[in-house]
Amino acid sequence: MTVTLGDPGTVIICGDHFDGRADALGGPTEILVKDGRIAQLAPAVSRPPGAPVIDLGGHTVTPGFIDCHVHLTMDAAHLSTQLLDSTATKALVGPRLADDYLDQGFTTLRDLGSADPAQATWFDHEMQALCDTAARLGLPVAVHTGAAQGCKQAIACGARSLEHAYLIDDEAIAMAEDAGTFIVPTMQMTAEDIQALHEGRLTSYTAAKIERDAEQIIEAQRRIAASRVKIAYGTDCGMFPFSHGNLEFQAMVNAGLRPARARRAATGTAADLLDRSDIGVLAPGAAADIILQSRHRSVSTRQLAMNYRSGGRRASTRSSMIWKSPMFSVRRGTPSTWAVAAMARSIWRRLGLPPRRVTAAAS
């Protein structure tokens, strides 16, 4: 099946849709895509002469998912040996992982560095200087946080997001609510650690930390879920397999988030964190970044995790990509903002390796 996006446009008939902002599915709709953007979204859109029609009448569509916390040069299957890898080898890891993650519906990724968030590791004046400098440069600050005091310090200094917030307390959550600070709680990471602990796969140092903190972390996750704080979807994939990234939806619901809020965390709220109005939503003017969730009209978070766990097959066309069950995506020539991907393509060319298509860009 070949779809050409651009004039005269492409009409998509949707059995149901989630727009990235609402509390519930929005019902049947049609979408007219032109030049890689959503031109119309309505119960019935115009049919430009010659425009192909894609009938997804038995399916639910959503914006492409956004994972706000990944480590694209870290392959969980080889973490113990990656320190020995060259920079070029590490650069080749990221495009492959991002390309595979598209099979779960994640079309935008935010790549973060590494840090041990167990304690506040900056003096107050250092953190304030860092955040002030970033603000002058127009850059957001994401802080890996664990201890409650570290969360409070980051919020007070103007951080845009708290990553993990493992041991956040009520006072810090209230501060985040008042300041409009986002929390990216990476809840599935804790489930992965607890399972690894039970299976004896952790180092003695990590095992001791998980045994000490796991109960408090789970309670902090429930505290976050019960709050009014802005929660954005993030997984910490790279520290564990990207194939488990979709399980963050269920981890969020297990902690107490309503399914609709969990879906918003990976779409509209995540886009807000990234300050991107063109992704994370289905709306006129937004990018035609559209995925197919399920053949069922009503999609639960548990079904979503199960559906994506199996992955999907996809076929590349000249100006779009189509995922055959379980998802559908339409993108047109979106320029990558991820320098590592460009570097990797260059390396592949120099080594004479067959080219790979890398279309997901980290923000």
Give the Å distances, CA to CA, from 176 to 86, 148, 151, 212, 234.
39, 12, 9, 26, 17
Question: Do the Cβ atoms of 292 and 326 come closer than 8 Å?
Answer: yes
Spatial distance between the Cα atoms of 103 and 98, rounded to a whole number of angstroms: 9
Q: CA-based angle 241:244:250, to the nearest 5?
A: 150
CATH 3.40.50.720 fits 66-273, yes or no: no
First to last CA, the chain: 30
Q: How confident is the model at residue 234 (pLDDT cuts 50, 70, 90)?
A: very high
Q: What is the predicted pLDDT for the residue at 294?
A: 62
Average pLDDT over residues 286-297: 76
CATH superfamily, with its number, for domain 10-64+280-324: Urease, subunit C, domain 1 (2.30.40.10)
Beta strands in 2-64, from DSSP E residues, in sequence order: 10-17, 29-34, 37-42, 53-63
Domain boundaries, the chain: 10-64+280-324, 66-273
* 299 pLDDT higher than 80: no
Lowest mean pLDDT among 19-28, 165-174, 302-311: 302-311
The side-by-side arrangement of strands in the sheet containing 230-231 is: 142-145, 161-164, 182-184, 230-231
| 66-273 matches 10-64+280-324 in CATH topology | no
Q: What is the predicted pLDDT for the residue at 115?
A: 58
Number of CB atoms found within 10 A of residue 152's CB: 19
Q: What is the DSSP string of 277-342?
A: SSSSS-STTSB--EEEEESSSS--HHHHHHHHHT--EEEE-SS-EEEETT-------PPP--HHHH
Q: How confident is the model at residue 117 (pLDDT cuts 50, 70, 90)?
A: low
Q: Write down the mean pLDDT value for the chain.
A: 81
Question: Do the Cβ atoms of 219 and 205 come closer than 8 Å?
Answer: no
Tokens representing residue 77 in the block: 């299957």
Q: How confident is the model at residue 77 (pLDDT cuts 50, 70, 90)?
A: confident
Q: CA-based angle 305:291:14, to the nearest 5?
A: 110
Question: Do the Cβ atoms of 248 and 185 come closer than 8 Å?
Answer: no
Q: What is the predicted pLDDT for the residue at 41?
A: 97
pLDDT 10s digits, 2-15: 444 446 899 999 99
| DSSP structure class, residue 160 | S
Spatial distance between the Cα atoms of 99 and 243, rounded to a whole number of angstroms: 12
Higher pLDDT, 355 or 43: 43
The answer to whether the pTM exceeds 0.85 is no
* 332 pLDDT higher than 50: no
